[in-house]
Amino acid sequence: MQRRLVPAMKNNSQQTTVLALALLLLCAMGQSSQAEETVRQNGKPNVLFIAIDDLNDWTGTLRGNPQAKTPHLDRLASQGMVFANAHCAAPACGPSRSAIMSGLRPSTSGNYINKSSLTHNPKLNNSVLLPEFFQQNGYYVCGAGKLFHGYHFNYEVKGRGFDEYFPSKTQDLPSFAGLKFSSKLPLGGWARQADWGPCHPDVTVDDHPDGITANWATGKLLGGELQEPFFLGAGIFQPHLPNYAPQKYFDRFPLEEIKLPEGFREDDLDDVPAAHAKMAHNPWLKRIRATKQWKPAIQAYLACTSMVDDLIGQIVGALEDSKYADNTIIVLWSDHGFQLGEKGRWGKYSLWERATRVNLVWVAPGVTQPGSVTDKPANLLDIYPTLASLTGLEPPAGQLEGNDLSVLMKNPDAAWDAATVTTFGYKNYGVRSHRYRYIVYEDGTEELYDHTQDKWEWKNLADRPEYAAIKKQMRRELPTHHEPAGVTYQVPKRKPKLR
């Protein structure tokens, strides 16, 4: 019996040992898995960086036009914090995006207009650009679409700071070649900038350059193979002119229901200094009105904004469905506003509200409170330092001139700057506080508007003696250094027009 029991006892011992080892292995695996999860949770957050070109306050979030339909943007805003009084550093693509990517004011860099070079500007070229900052700090940096100004990216930056770029590091936008049209140009081919209209019925949003960009971003997020931490930038071109979108987006805004801008007034420029006319004042509105194209042009802007909103929903939805959802900061911004007739303008290129006010939405897990809104002045210049703060990274020494918006995310009642500054051209400044907008041109002429009583900026108060103290207070916000304009580049010839 004992001879039989001994082997049996040995077998039991082996089984016990195996069982113990299995349990230890499972525990180890569980601890390893838990450790990996802890590392992921405690690691640096990812960044989803969504840029939109020429999108003004005609959104549900900013309520600039009740006809606008942007449910996806509104939903995103409800999940985080909206900076409802945010403004661009400059009302033009080139200097606005250069300021965002470098953290330097235009008055510091001398980068004032779209033709201003980035890499031939020593201050900008020697700065640590935002993609480089994340790359240097161990992030995988990828992007697609319009993040920099087109010329700056394609001919100067050439993917600097990016590990991957779509379509390539010398081409920021996907091709427009997939777009076809059923009708002629609305103004008879007068100018590419004054072109808009629905695409041929066979064309879908997937054929549109912005649809292609959004599909790329969606694929990256849902693919689950992004190296973490990552910085993923998606630059949407619309509603920048030319305003092309599939027919279904135009159908959302029947032409007979389109209303002209509430802020338009025929005599609006009567009390405005002549200096405003030097700021890239174009003849587009005059031609649009003469050819009775004002409402069709507004319809096209709203249609393209609606398409962009769908793409925002697609990209954000992909993030929410991905494994990165709980550890990714979202920042969505538009590079400046756009005037659709207000003050006789069709475009940006001014220091008035409709041209400088931007969309700026943040969703930072564990930091932003859902549905929060602040009216404290903010600037796109604040994006770089805010991202550095939220990701726990040390910003480049002595470079960034913006504010850390996470202060307001954590405490909306925190002490804050009284105003923010927009620059367009040498010594031309717009200063926006909670209540007032003050504009001063290089020649010293001024404008002052009280937004509590005059949201359309119809009544210039600058010459009234009772507002002298307010102007003095606003002037304290102006930069003390005014860098002369930097080197400009030769604009390359455009390819032949579509159609």
Query: Which amino acids are annotated catalytic?
Result: 93, 149
Q: How far apart, in whole angstroms, are the C-alpha atoms of residue 259 and residue 362?
A: 31
Cα 84–Cα 89–Cα 94 angle in degrees, nearest 5: 125
**CB of 118 within 8 A of CB of 111?**
yes
Written as one string, the DSSP assignment of 164-203 is EEESBTTB-SPPSTT--BSS--TTTTS-GGG-EEEBPTT-
Closest CA to 214 of 232, 240, 239, 228: 232
User: What is the token pair recorded at 129?
Assistant: 């650009």
User: What is the token pair recorded at 300?
Assistant: 């096209």
Amino acid at 398: G
Q: How far apart, in whole angstroms, are the C-alpha atoms of residue 92 and residue 195?
A: 19
User: How many Cβ atoms from other residues are within 10 Å of residue 40's Cβ?
Assistant: 14
Phi and psi at residue 66, in whole multiples of 5°?
Answer: -65, -15
Phi and psi at residue 234, in whole multiples of 5°?
Answer: -125, 115
Query: Exposed (0-12), middle (13-18) or buried (19+): which is 155, by Cβ within 10 Å?
Result: middle
Q: At what angle do helices 294-320 and 71-79 cross, to 10 degrees?
A: 40
Cα 463–Cα 465–Cα 468 angle in degrees, nearest 5: 90
Peptide bond into 229 cis (omega under 30): yes
Residue 211 CA neighbour count, 13 Å, CB half: 15
Ramachandran category for residue 36: left, alpha or beta (phi over 0 → left; psi -120 to 50 → alpha): alpha
Phi and psi at residue 138, in whole multiples of 5°?
Answer: 85, 10
**What would the 3-class secondary structure string for 97-151 be?**
HHHHHHCCCHHHHCCCCCCECCCCCHHHHCCCCHHHHHHHCCCEEEEEECCCCHH
Q: How far apart, in whole angstroms, are the C-alpha atoms of residue 11 and residue 63?
A: 77
Q: Name the CA radius of gyration of the chain, rounded.
A: 26
User: What is the token pair recorded at 163?
Assistant: 């590990």
The conformation of residue 357, written as its DSSP 8-state character, comes to B
In the chain, what is the straight-line distance between the N-terminal and C-terminal CA atoms, in Å?
98
Q: How far apart, in whole angstroms, are the C-alpha atoms of residue 445 and residue 425?
A: 15
